Structure 1
Amino acid sequence: MKLSLRKLVVGVVAAVSVLAGEGARAARISNPVAVFAGIDKITGRITTFDVYLDETVQYGALQVTPKVCYSRDETEAQKVDAFVEVDEITLDRKIRRIFSGWMFADSPGLNAVEHPIYDVWLTGCKDKSDIPPPKTN
């Protein structure tokens, strides 16, 4: 009886080690498109928009530029995150950086951009967009 219990414990420990090793090997997937949602607090309108990496999209008075957008493969729990820069175009037409950092799709309130008129948050990453990619020179 002791020997079979010991084998069971050793087997469980080995199985956990193998599973933990597989999880450690799973890499983040770099995606070329970040998906954002934004709300105009004056109209209450929510807009979803795609942005290619290193491209800038204007949403109201904000300019949103994702630098990286990571997801996980289908075998992992999805943890989508992106490094994003957000600039504001002020009334005197100056550009002011109001956010530079990581956004997390599963915790939109953690690092969402909160502006007096516009809020922007990451909702996902994807491989393709219906919007054509930017032209490269």
Structure 2
Amino acid sequence: MKVALGLALALLANAALAQNAADAPGARLRLLDKLTGQVTDLTLENGQAQTVGRLTVQVDACRYPADNPTADASAHLTIRDTSQPEPMFKGWMVASSPALSALDHPRYDVWVMRCDVPDRVLPDVPAAPEDQPAEDGAATDGGNG
């Protein structure tokens, strides 16, 4: 019962934010390849798509609270896997609650970091960590491979 009440309150809060939302020309996303551990940051304009591995990620729209551009972003995404004809995900993803509406993919995770807001200097999203090469060619699989 508490979970259902919490979910209902979260949805109502999002609906209230949507009434005072402003449109942004694009979004910043982060993609994780769970198999390799590689993290990729994507900055896409609305309507633009980029392919990483087997996924093609397209930003359809991005919205943010009009009175606070640095606050929570919501992006409408279309995500396709090259092995399937239908999109794996098509809908709104909320930056503060990515599990509320998440991509269900065995290999990849995608989440919204923020909207790109024109004429605003927004805090930069920390860059994805770069892969560190193994020293002296040592195995990096922890001995499991």
Q: Tell me if TM exceeds 0.5.
A: yes
Residues 29-68 of structure 1 mapped to structure 2, 5 A cutoff: 29-68=22-61
Q: Which residue of 2 aligns with 1:86?
A: 79
Is the 1:114–1:120 contact (alpha carbons within 8 Å) kept by the matching residues of 2? no
Is the 1:84–1:103 contact (alpha carbons within 8 Å) kept by the matching residues of 2? yes
2: CA distance, partners of 1:34 / 1:71:
10
Q: Which sections of structure 2, spanning at least 5 residues, go unmatched?
A: 1-15, 119-145
Q: Which sections of structure 1, spanning at least 5 residues, go unmatched?
A: 1-22, 129-137
Is the 2:69–2:117 contact (alpha carbons within 8 Å) kept by the matching residues of 1? no
Displacement of 1:75: 4.4
Q: Which residue of 1 aligns with 2:114?
A: 124
Letter in 2 for 1:55: Q
Give the structure with higher Rg (CA). 1
* Residues 105-124 of structure 1: per-residue CA shift (max 9 Å, x gap): 00012222131211111111
Q: Which consecutive segments of 4 or more residues in structure 1 shift more than 6 A?
A: none
More strand by share: 1
1: CA distance, partners of 2:88 / 2:71:
28
2: CA distance, partners of 1:76 / 1:49:
19
Structure 2 counterpart of 1:115, from 97, 105, 116: 105
- The size of the alignment, in residue pairs, is 102
Letter in 2 for 1:113: L
* Residues 8-46 of structure 1: per-residue CA shift (max 9 Å, x gap): xxxxxxxxxxxxxxx99x731211111111111111122
With structure 1 as the length reference, what TM-score do the two structures score? 0.65
Identity percentage of aligned residues? 27
Q: Which residue of 1 aligns with 2:93?
A: 103
